[in-house]
Amino acid sequence: MDTSLVQSCAHHPGRRGFALCMSCRKVVCQECATTWDGVNHCRPCLAERGAIAAPRQRIGRWIGWAVVCALLLLAAGRAMAWSAAMLASHQW
- Residues in contact with Zn ion by the rule CB under 5 A: 9, 11-12, 21, 23-24, 29, 32, 42, 45
Nearer to Zn ion, 12 or 78 (CB): 12
Nearest distance, CB of residue 28 and Zn ion, angstroms: 5
Nearest distance, CB of residue 8 and Zn ion, angstroms: 9
Nearest distance, CB of residue 5 and Zn ion, angstroms: 18
Contacts of 9 (CB under 8 A, 6+ apart): 15, 16, 17, 18, 27, 28, 29, 31, 32
Q: What are the start-end ranges of the H helices in the chain?
A: 43-91
